[in-house]
Amino acid sequence: MARPIPPLDLMWLIMETQASPTHVGALLLFEKPKGRPRVVREIVETYRSYEPTPPFNYLPEVVGTRMPRFLEAKSYDPRYHNQHLALPEGATYDDLLRLVTDLHEPMLDRDRPLFRNWIIDGVPDNLFAIYAKVHHAIIDGVSGTKRLYSSLGTGARQAIQPPAFAAELPVRKPRPPKALVDRLAELGFSATRQTLALKDVSFGALKKRLALLLGADPVGSAPFTAQRGPMNAPLQMARSVATLSLPLDEMHAVGKHFGATLNDLAVTIVDAGVHRYLRQADRAFPHRLVAFCPVSLRGEGDTDAGTKASAMFVHLGEHEATVVERIKQVVAAMGTAKQELRSMSKDAAMTYAVALLGVAELTTATHIDRVTPPLANMVISNVPGARQQMYLNGAPLIGTFPVSAIAMSVGLNATLTSYNDRMDFGFVGNGATMYDLPELARHVQEAYQELRSAASKKRPAKRSTTQPRKSRSAPARCR
């Protein structure tokens, strides 16, 4: 069965190169249950027993056809798509990150279904890991996370659930065939709707560009207004990866103290961490960083294939601002950008994202991006996760770290996801210029600790306090 490739998903395929693959990934950490020496082998054998379901059995056909489309794969090799690896004795968590970096770098083979899983044993502290990567053309962060959690159980004794690539989604009832006149009318309405959406987006962008030319400060969503920094160097195949985990409820409390959402707080500490990381490396960036912030347009329960998202491009804090000053600046900037995006229809928001990615890809392909302002300096994305403890074959899940894509000369990505009582960050950078991301993660952690301290000093003293529950595993710290 053939299926047309939607425009935004097609962009992820068109812009992909060896130096800039457009898959997304996730690193999951599990604690081995006692007395279960075959727990990892059982997961491997179970995963290999399943066949992929749409869209995980799709192959893209982009060249040589009038209409780009997905075709269903005619063959599937379960051992290739579900590999079993083990770290050597004495390996460290940093060794795991180096392995994940190596696995994340190469493109997915377009002649095979667009996903792969590696089940990794031998992780220190009695842990094992699963690193999964999937092409962005068949899944986005929100729907991918929902599928991921559907593959886990909520109890330690629950049987292994079907893996994410074999999830059985509700089958939509087939609609009766439409008469030709109805189909033509629908096509005409769709074309009119997209034209009006493009008109709204273009008019808004023109007004903003004129304001910038007249010397106004960038407000709202302002793509292609970033100053070029080390993260905007031409992308190479090398990557750097790091993780960080922070206490979720405490983050909520700290953000609330400053009138900030959880996302505002996360953006603030990433913003501060990047400036500190660059200063420490004698590459200070004396400008506001511009963050490309994807925004999901999915409704509740929507797990359809493909990407349904738009984007904001936000000027963050002043480069020399304290972390307390910075969070106020970020709250104001994010609020303006959110309001601007809310004023768009869903069609306009989607058209906005497709148009911007198209322009960014064109400037990258022609190398014009090396002399013009980049689309943004970095990507900061927040993907909601599960609040309850999850398990796989009796093994508790203790961390979910996104390992996302970098593209279009935006060589730094910080994606975060909430899980249970933690907020897990995954950092990915251009290994040629952003080559020590564990150090960046440490700076982000320090920025958070400063905000937490500032909030606690202004908070009224209480007669009794409850100590925050400590993580039971080493990976919850900065790596």
pLDDT digit string, tens, across residues 154-199? 999 999 999 999 987 554 444 444 454 444 344 344 444 444 444 4
In this model, does residue 237 exceed pLDDT 50?
yes
Structural domains of the chain, with CATH:
2-61+68-166 (3.30.559.10), 194-387+402-460+469-476 (3.30.559.30)
Average the pLDDT over each of 37-51, 74-88, 387-401, 465-479 and give the range with the smallest value: 465-479
Name 391's bridge partners. 153, 396
Cβ atoms 1, 54 nearer than 8 A: no
In this model, does residue 472 exceed pLDDT 80?
no
- Determine the pLDDT at residue 233: 94
- Determine the pLDDT at residue 188: 43
- Determine the pLDDT at residue 307: 54
- Determine the pLDDT at residue 383: 87
249-272 tens-digit pLDDT = 999 999 999 999 999 999 999 999
Q: Which residue has the tokens 């002043």?
A: 318
- Determine the pLDDT at residue 145: 83
Which alpha helices (H) appear in 138-220, and where do they start and end? 141-150, 180-213
Average pLDDT, the chain: 84
In this model, does residue 212 exceed pLDDT 80?
no
What is the dihedral angle through the alpha carbons of 431, 434, 435, 439, rounded to the nearest 10 degrees?
-150
Query: Which H or E element spans position 474?
Result: none
Cβ atoms 12, 110 nearer than 8 A: no
- The three-class DSSP label of residue 295 is strand
Q: Which of 52, 411, 425 is nearest to 265 (CA)?
A: 425
Mean pLDDT, residues 14-29? 93
Return d(Cα 68, Cα 423) in angstroms, integer.
38
110-142 tens-digit pLDDT = 999 999 999 999 999 999 999 999 999 998 767
